[in-house]
A and B are shown apart, each in its own frame.
Chain A
Amino acid sequence: MKQKIFVIAALILLLCLILFMTRDLFFSHSENKPNPYEYDLKALKSADTTQSLYTEDRQIHTRLAEIHGVATDAADNIYIAGNGGVEIYSRDGVFLKKFSIKGTARCITVDVKDNIYLGMEDHVEIWNGSGKLITQWTSPGEESIITSIAVTDTWVFLADAGRKVVYRCDLSGKMIDRIGEKDPENKIPGFIVPSPYFDLGIAPDGSLWVVNPGRHEFEKYTFDGRLVSTWGEANMTMEGFCGCCNPSHFAFLHDGSFVTSEKGIERIKIYTSGGKFNSIVALSASFEEGTKGLDLAVDSRDRVIVLDPVKLMVRIFVKKK
């Protein structure tokens, strides 16, 4: 009896298969089917908006024709760097100053003395707040693309997307060390940087974090280049990072949480200091499709400052009340 039931079930399954084939062959119409070959990320771009804990507070429209980097200083002034100049705005978005530079700054950082560090394609320039060039460092190499700078009391760290390495320099610009080069003996995987988006930062606890975008990971290094820990997961969900190479930029909140931005699926998210997904700041709907280079900064009030290079503005996101 039991066997008979199994046979009947198996027969039903077989009939279902034949029906499936018949239906698929004769009655499945492609009129309403989406193009299976279309490059469509819509489904991935949608997300549960209840996870979004931030709202856009204000926008600062820049007068620069091309923008690449954003930073804040101790007084929460906002610095925007791009092609041919640097603009400075107050924390409320009031225009304060602008000075010209030769060439394009791909990244910007302001130290505690308000010195402005600009990554000028293959070298670093240091300017003061009144727009005077203090010094220009020599280029590490022709193929260098400096995409991020972090400054401590004694060291300056440069992320070189072209050579896929991080440099530790002293304050005079002398290169002391190369960090993150592939070293199987010390279990350093090496940076995979397929696009010129390669960010690093100093966490509130003073540790150095570097994005390894091709591996979709954050890597924590000691200042002498020892790999301490990593976090990050490559997957298509909101919790992970996806695409060829993400995240493209990041910044730290004061509790050590990471604010990350991605390209491909434009989104800004927050992860705890331990690397656990926490919340959403902004989703694709907030940006033009194909926006890349969403540089980030965080001010003393933990406002998330986002550079939108397509809309040519800086957008400030604050936590919902």
Chain B
Amino acid sequence: MSKQKLVIILLLLLTVQATSVFAVQRFPKPEFETGYIQPETQVPSPRTEILAVMDVVVLLLSLSVISWIVLKKRSRNGVFLMSVFSLIYFGFYREGCICAIGSIQNITLALFDYNYILPLTVIAFFIIPLVFTLFFGRTFCAGVCPFGAMQDMVAFRPQKLGSRLNAILGMVPYIYLGLAVLYAATGTDFIICRYDPFVGIFRFNASFSMFVFAGILLLSGIFIARPYCRFLCPYGVLLNWVSRFSRRHITITPAECIQCRLCEDSCPYDAIDFPVTSRNPESRQVMVRKLMLICTLIPFLIVAGGWTGIRLHETLAGVNGKVKLARQLLDPATLRIQSEPFEITAYKSSGKSQMQVNEEASVMLKRFYTGGWILGGFIGLMFGVVIAGRMLNIWRTDYVPNKGTCLSCTRCVDYCPVKSDLSKVNT
């Protein structure tokens, strides 16, 4: 049975869990008038320490194995098998939590809220993939991240999007990361978890909307490989930055590139940089003009982004529960509607005065004012960097994986006819 057929069957089996979408709670509660005492609601105890340590050990081992497979063995089958393992262990067994992607929020909240207790496992899941990336490139994305593994398995007909479209869509993760950090820092929400497309699948309890969300991602993932990783994943942004400084990174060819161009279309993620053969493709005057433009553009974009962020800070703050409640209390329309929003019901039972609610909202708005400025500035900066990257031509002689965007999946390796010994070239 081919790999594709196997994956299709697995996906069909996964859809069985859609039945949980229609599950309903039984009512009313049984009365048990016959002496039966209804047990109290049990809260599941946290994962035992030894299992938490085991998760970190498995993460370390997985990263070590995948890095060895990618860099030493250069084996696509090995990467695929590791992906299956990670999908089962970190996905279905660990139910997608804690994941490195979501850990950004825990780390951020811990930095801004000293009362928040940050488990060591979370720190480990945040830092270890970054450390491995610093040494070996994005091997975490290649075969350890269960999100990536799931999408990688459905990338049956990946198509190239073109550099412009990649650059435009590639801005979304920066915005998502900025928002996730802002909302975590203000204690508003963990939006990465809120819009986590696959955790519901791993836990077999996806809500209808999230099931559709995941379904659309997987469906579009057939033609646009790993859409979440490339155009949404906020942790991917950090990995992208770190990977650019990676000490050892996968190469397409194990020896010298023979410019055969066979690998040109091999990457489903558009992550291969083509050779720039001319050392000085542009005149000095043009280059100076470009440099001046970049030096002007980036500060301008930072300021413009910051200004926009300030203008939007009230909209951004609207997501915060305290601000939302204050707005509802001040809105006369709230009094007119028949069914009281549950936030208002909760507020009434809390015993807080409206003045207190307004004060809390005011403090929060100030935080969003600052946060909006920083968020806008950050997005402006990223826009500037992306534009600058497109304006500058970096001289290179070979076809090389882009160290930032390459997910180390090793697909391109199979296209290269060169063996480690240059004398052996597949014909």
Interface residues of A (CB under 8 A from B): 3-4, 6-7, 9-11, 13-14, 16-18, 20-21, 24-26, 30-39, 41, 143, 145, 161-162, 194-196, 236, 242-245, 263-264
Identify 6 residue pairs between A and B in the complex whose beta-carbon atoms are under 8 Å apart, listed by A's number. Answer: A21-B195, A31-B333, A32-B341, A195-B33, A243-B28, A244-B30
How many angstroms between the C-alpha atoms of A13 and B318 in the bound complex?
A: 27
The reply on B49 being an interface residue by CB < 8 A is no
How many angstroms between the C-alpha atoms of A87 and B58 in the bound complex?
A: 74
The listed residue (A7, A30, A264) touching B223 by CB distance below 8 A is A7
The reply on B9 being an interface residue by CB < 8 A is no
How many angstroms between the C-alpha atoms of A196 and B33 in the bound complex?
A: 7
- For residue A196, which residues in chain B have a CB less than 8 angstroms away from its CB? 31, 33-34
The reply to whether B172 and A18 contact each other, CB–CB distance below 8 Å, is: yes
How many angstroms between the C-alpha atoms of A154 and B392 in the bound complex?
A: 101
The reply to whether B27 and A26 contact each other, CB–CB distance below 8 Å, is: no
Q: In the assembled complex, how far is the CB of residue B427 from the closest CB belonging to chain A, in whole angstroms?
A: 30
The reply to whether B27 and A39 contact each other, CB–CB distance below 8 Å, is: yes
- For residue B334, which residues in chain A have a CB less than 8 angstroms away from its CB? 31
The reply to whether B345 and A13 contact each other, CB–CB distance below 8 Å, is: no
The reply to whether B34 and A36 contact each other, CB–CB distance below 8 Å, is: no
The reply to whether B26 and A244 contact each other, CB–CB distance below 8 Å, is: yes
Output the residue of A7, A242, A245 with the most chain B CB within 10 A. A7
Known: A195-B32, A244-B28. A16 touches B195 (CB 8 A): no
The listed residue (B161, B219, B331) touching A31 by CB distance below 8 A is B331
Known: A17-B213, A17-B216, A32-B337. A263 touches B328 (CB 8 A): no
Main secondary structure of the interface of B (DSSP, over half): loop
How many angstroms between the C-alpha atoms of A30 and B328 in the bound complex?
A: 9
- For residue B165, which residues in chain A have a CB less than 8 angstroms away from its CB? 11
- For residue B217, which residues in chain A have a CB less than 8 angstroms away from its CB? 14, 17
The listed residue (A18, A34, A263) touching B339 by CB distance below 8 A is A34
The reply to whether B28 and A264 contact each other, CB–CB distance below 8 Å, is: yes
What residue of chain B has the Cβ atom nearest to residue A40's Cβ? B339
How many angstroms between the C-alpha atoms of A263 and B31 in the bound complex?
A: 12
- For residue B24, which residues in chain A have a CB less than 8 angstroms away from its CB? 236
How many angstroms between the C-alpha atoms of A17 and B214 in the bound complex?
A: 10
- 3 interchain residue pairs of minimum CB distance: A194-B30, A10-B220, A35-B342
How many angstroms between the C-alpha atoms of A35 and B343 in the bound complex?
A: 8
- For residue A17, which residues in chain B have a CB less than 8 angstroms away from its CB? 213, 216-217
The reply to whether A3 and B159 contact each other, CB–CB distance below 8 Å, is: yes
- For residue A31, which residues in chain B have a CB less than 8 angstroms away from its CB? 328, 331, 333-334, 337, 341
The reply to whether B224 and A10 contact each other, CB–CB distance below 8 Å, is: yes
What 9 additional pairs, Cβ within 8 angstroms, besides A10-B227, A34-B339?
A3-B159, A9-B223, A11-B220, A26-B319, A30-B324, A32-B339, A35-B340, A243-B27, A244-B26
- For residue A36, which residues in chain B have a CB less than 8 angstroms away from its CB? 342
How many angstroms between the C-alpha atoms of A244 and B33 in the bound complex?
A: 14
The reply to whether B27 and A41 contact each other, CB–CB distance below 8 Å, is: yes
- For residue A7, which residues in chain B have a CB less than 8 angstroms away from its CB? 159, 161, 223-224
What residue of chain A has the Cβ atom nearest to residue B22's Cβ? A236
- For residue B204, which residues in chain A have a CB less than 8 angstroms away from its CB? none
How many angstroms between the C-alpha atoms of A121 and B212 in the bound complex?
A: 53
Q: In the assembled complex, how far is the CB of residue B326 from the closest CB belonging to chain A, in whole angstroms?
A: 13
- For residue A162, which residues in chain B have a CB less than 8 angstroms away from its CB? 34
The reply to whether B319 and A14 contact each other, CB–CB distance below 8 Å, is: no
- For residue A37, which residues in chain B have a CB less than 8 angstroms away from its CB? 342
How many angstroms between the C-alpha atoms of A85 and B146 in the bound complex?
A: 69
The reply to whether A13 and B28 contact each other, CB–CB distance below 8 Å, is: no
The reply to whether A6 and B223 contact each other, CB–CB distance below 8 Å, is: yes
How many angstroms between the C-alpha atoms of A16 and B213 in the bound complex?
A: 10
- For residue B318, which residues in chain A have a CB less than 8 angstroms away from its CB? 26
How many angstroms between the C-alpha atoms of A194 and B337 in the bound complex?
A: 39
The reply to whether A245 and B30 contact each other, CB–CB distance below 8 Å, is: yes
- For residue B231, which residues in chain A have a CB less than 8 angstroms away from its CB? 14
The listed residue (A11, A33, A143, A161) touching B224 by CB distance below 8 A is A11
- For residue B195, which residues in chain A have a CB less than 8 angstroms away from its CB? 21, 24
Known: A33-B341, A195-B31, A264-B27. A6 touches B315 (CB 8 A): no
The reply to whether A10 and B222 contact each other, CB–CB distance below 8 Å, is: yes
The reply to whether B339 and A35 contact each other, CB–CB distance below 8 Å, is: yes
Known: A31-B334, A31-B337, A31-B341. A10 touches B223 (CB 8 A): yes
What residue of chain B has the Cβ atom nearest to residue A39's Cβ? B27
The reply on B289 being an interface residue by CB < 8 A is no
How many angstroms between the C-alpha atoms of A24 and B318 in the bound complex?
A: 12
The listed residue (A32, A35, A145) touching B345 by CB distance below 8 A is A35
Known: A31-B328, A195-B33. A14 touches B27 (CB 8 A): no
How many angstroms between the C-alpha atoms of A25 and B34 in the bound complex?
A: 48
Q: In the assembled complex, how far is the CB of residue B226 from the closest CB belonging to chain A, in whole angstroms?
A: 12
How many angstroms between the C-alpha atoms of A24 and B189 in the bound complex?
A: 13
Q: Restricting to B143-177, which residues have a CB under 8 Å from any CB of A?
A: 157, 159, 161, 165, 169, 172
The listed residue (B223, B315, B340) touching A26 by CB distance below 8 A is B315
